[in-house]
Structure 1
Amino acid sequence: MSKVIKHKWLHWTRVLPILAFAALIVSWIYHPTAALVLAVLTILLIGSIIASVHHAEVIAQKVGEPFGSLVLAVAVTVIEVGLILTLMASGKGSATLARDTVFAAVMITINGIMGLSLTVSAARHSTSRFSALGSGGALATVTALAGICLVLPRFTVSDPSPSYTPSQLAFAGVASLVLYGLFIAAQTGRHRSSFLPIDEDGMPIDTDDDSWTPTTAATLRSLGFLLIALVAVVGLAKILSPTIEAGVAAAGLPPGFVGVIIALVVLAPESLAAVRAARQNRVQVSLNLALGSAMASIGLTIPTLAVAMIWFPGEFYLGLGSTQIVLLVMSVLLAMLTIAPGRATRLQGGVHLVILAAYIFLAANP
């Protein structure tokens, strides 16, 4: 878990969620349309996302690793699901919004967070070292989830569109929860040592940086502020959703790019946490964050949306396009080659970042 230090300036992480929540209540009443007001709401939205991840880090520092990475991954996924559901509820989300957002999260985590973390770590410490067993198990779970939820819907024949029938969607939701549950059991149970940072000899380091361990009272306060921040994020996203889509359209970008924007905003704070861990030569924590977020993005989002479709009738496409499938296969193969040796250099990190750049470019210019 990346180091969380107690500083006086961190009071903004308490003020911003409260301001965002108050702005949310006022906005629900008056429905603002002025550009300046919407800009302020956008700043409060981004600030609340960053604050929510900080409070998740405080909780994570209390419970230790690998539970800390799990807390961050789940917190970020809650934000992602909330953003998707609010856009769907507003009637502004496209039939492929959920697919595009989940796929964007997978590409950003596997190629962006992993690639940036490996590059930063190798630049400072020559070679990045991590547990091939733990990271390989996480990658295998992500691959299975992506195949079931994002690839197979493209090839099923019960529905001519790239989507599952209700029964198939129910199976995918249950299978996602089972896979995610199996991974959590391994990560926090008997095989916990496989997800801990390792030393130069490849031995797990079962100690976290405890230069500051939050008290129980501080942890409970962070839990409260985390809940306030998450509510503010979801609510403000619903208010700003027309602005997001209008901006994408004005820029001449395809509607699917909305999913990329959502994933980039939501995962930005977690990316910073992963880079901080990499700078401290704790690459395993970075990989836990990257692969754990990809896993939670699919394993929790798809079951939630499967249930939500009961109240949100309409088209719900999950199957990836041919270009997206190629990018996914390339990403998984590269990740396998990166993780298998248990160590990596800047070369592997740079390759992942190039694949991320290719994904974003093709998302904007399909």
Structure 2
Amino acid sequence: MTSMAVAHPRLPSWTTVAPILAMIALALVWGRDIGPVVVGIVAVLLAAAVLSAVHHAEVVAHRVGEPYGSLVLAVSVTVIEVALIVTLMASGGPEVATLARDTVFAALMITTNGILGLSLLLASRRHGTAHFNRDGTGAALATALTLAVLSLVVPTFTSTPGPEFTGPQLVFAAIASLVLYLLFVSTQAKTHRNFFLPVDAEGGLLELDHASPPSHRAAWWSFGLLLVALVAVVGLAKVESPVLEAAVRAVGLPHAFVGVLIALLVLAPETLAAARAARRGRTQISLNLALGSAMASIGLTIPTIAVASIWLEGPLHLGLGSLHMALLAVTAVVAILTVVPGRATRLQGGVHLVLFASYVFLAANP
């Protein structure tokens, strides 16, 4: 009597199910008052959507190769982040005048200090010294700092009464930001692609992937699920924001700190993807994610807000205060000194993380 193996249908993986469940939850709770139990369920689905977004971003990156893979996650997150800013600004309220500024600056500090510092710390702890391509990283840093100064510092010193642009100034800043970002993308993806690929201690290019890349069908499927997961992350973060606002008020923190918390949630997929790349010794990929996200956050947000301001009522305060300008200046100096040698140790990673912690602390205790 012979036994026959019974073939069981293959169940979908959790990375496929999580984004779909998160979107279903988003549709069910959007615009409704939710209780503590539902808040907890939404938080779990939010975390699952973040983790699945990282997985699908890595699948797409493996298929298209670097540096295109790093651009996929950076641009996807930023586009949805911009949509969230415009949606919140359209809802009105006393805080919307500074919403774009607070969100963009939070994203800038998270990427240039939080993600960058964590990546350098993880890579150097395992390999002693983290090596990266200083040509490409330096170009990315210069572009990010230029965008930050044009969009977040200059408005404080214009002739207008508040920290805002005049109409023509805002148009110029929007065009300049978009041009710089598109020029950088062209440089990274076409004319100087090798500047943004991982390197070894001698500066030679590293082989990125040894496994066979996924099929076109698998890559497109992951790309679609990546977009679903990112929409779910931002949407569920917005659903959770009233709970965060209530918690912030309960502990006596300023309302602007809510923006920091939401920015941390939105940038969580990039943070996890950068950390994974750093642990594998792909420091350059981590830095591409960090600085690429910083540039996309400014280069796409400012032009979109400029267009949206035609319909949105109220002032648009983009200029930073003296405290945040001081943090930006220190970040610029430290980042330049980190990038110039093309290598970094735990010390540089720790310095950037302390700067990030200082920003978060001062956001809570201005």
Whether TM exceeds 0.5 here: the answer is yes
Q: Which moved more, 1:299-308 or 1:128-137?
A: 299-308
Residues 234 and 290 of structure 1, relative CA distance in 2, 3 Å threshold: closer
1:104-161 per-residue CA deviation (whole Å, 9 max, x = no partner) reads: 111111111111111111111111111111100000000110011000011111x211
- Distance of 2:12 and 2:269 partners within structure 1: 15
* Number of the residue aligned with 1:146: 148
Asked if 1 retains the 8 angstrom alpha-carbon contact of 2:245 and 2:258, the reply is yes
Asked if 1 retains the 8 angstrom alpha-carbon contact of 2:54 and 2:272, the reply is no
Aligned residues: 356
- Distance of 1:9 and 1:105 partners within structure 2: 37
Q: CA deviation at 1:243?
A: 2.5
* Number of the residue aligned with 1:100: 102
- Distance of 2:12 and 2:141 partners within structure 1: 34
- Distance of 2:123 and 2:30 partners within structure 1: 45
Residue from 136, 139, 152 that aligns with 1:137: 139
Residues 230 and 129 of structure 1, relative CA distance in 2, 3 Å threshold: closer
Amino acid across the alignment from 2:151: C
- Distance of 2:117 and 2:276 partners within structure 1: 14
Say whether residues 1:363 and 2:363 are aligned partners. Answer: yes
Identity %: 59
1:227-284 per-residue CA deviation (whole Å, 9 max, x = no partner) reads: 3223333433443333232222222111111221122112222112112211222111
Q: CA deviation at 1:9?
A: 9.6
Q: Which moved more, 1:264-273 or 1:133-142?
A: 264-273
Structure 1 unmatched runs, 5+: 1-7
Amino acid across the alignment from 2:57: A
* Number of the residue aligned with 2:192: 191
Say whether residues 1:256 and 2:256 are aligned partners. Answer: yes
* Number of the residue aligned with 1:341: 341
- Distance of 1:361 and 1:72 partners within structure 2: 28
- Distance of 1:188 and 1:47 partners within structure 2: 31
Amino acid across the alignment from 2:236: L
Structure 2 unmatched runs, 5+: 1-9
Asked if 2 retains the 8 angstrom alpha-carbon contact of 1:86 and 1:234, the reply is no
* Number of the residue aligned with 2:178: 177
- Distance of 1:276 and 1:335 partners within structure 2: 21
- Normalising by the residue count of structure 2, what TM-score does the alignment of the two structures yield? 0.92
- Distance of 1:182 and 1:274 partners within structure 2: 23
- Distance of 1:63 and 1:143 partners within structure 2: 28
* Number of the residue aligned with 1:20: 22
* Number of the residue aligned with 2:321: 321
* Number of the residue aligned with 2:271: 271
- Distance of 1:271 and 1:199 partners within structure 2: 23
- Distance of 1:203 and 1:181 partners within structure 2: 27
- Distance of 1:329 and 1:294 partners within structure 2: 15
Asked if 2 retains the 8 angstrom alpha-carbon contact of 1:32 and 1:38, the reply is no
Amino acid across the alignment from 1:104: A
Q: CA deviation at 1:96?
A: 1.3
Structure 1 ranges of 4+ moved more than 6 A:
none
Asked if 1 retains the 8 angstrom alpha-carbon contact of 2:76 and 2:227, the reply is no
Asked if 1 retains the 8 angstrom alpha-carbon contact of 2:80 and 2:230, the reply is yes
Asked if 1 retains the 8 angstrom alpha-carbon contact of 2:50 and 2:268, the reply is no
Residues 9 and 203 of structure 1, relative CA distance in 2, 3 Å threshold: farther
- Distance of 1:344 and 1:304 partners within structure 2: 36
* Number of the residue aligned with 2:51: 50
Q: SS state of the match for residue 267, structure 2?
A: helix
1:311-350 per-residue CA deviation (whole Å, 9 max, x = no partner) reads: 3212221100101001001001100001001111111111
Residues 255 and 94 of structure 1, relative CA distance in 2, 3 Å threshold: farther
Asked if 2 retains the 8 angstrom alpha-carbon contact of 1:121 and 1:281, the reply is yes
- Distance of 2:164 and 2:109 partners within structure 1: 21
- Distance of 1:91 and 1:18 partners within structure 2: 30
- Distance of 2:232 and 2:289 partners within structure 1: 24
- Distance of 1:311 and 1:237 partners within structure 2: 25
Asked if 2 retains the 8 angstrom alpha-carbon contact of 1:118 and 1:283, the reply is yes
Say whether residues 1:223 and 2:229 are aligned partners. Answer: no
* Number of the residue aligned with 1:293: 293
- Distance of 2:234 and 2:360 partners within structure 1: 25
* Number of the residue aligned with 1:244: 244
- Normalising by the residue count of structure 1, what TM-score does the alignment of the two structures yield? 0.92
Asked if 2 retains the 8 angstrom alpha-carbon contact of 1:83 and 1:262, the reply is no
1:274-309 per-residue CA deviation (whole Å, 9 max, x = no partner) reads: 122112221111111111111111111111122222
- Distance of 1:235 and 1:224 partners within structure 2: 17
* Number of the residue aligned with 1:63: 64
- Distance of 1:162 and 1:249 partners within structure 2: 26
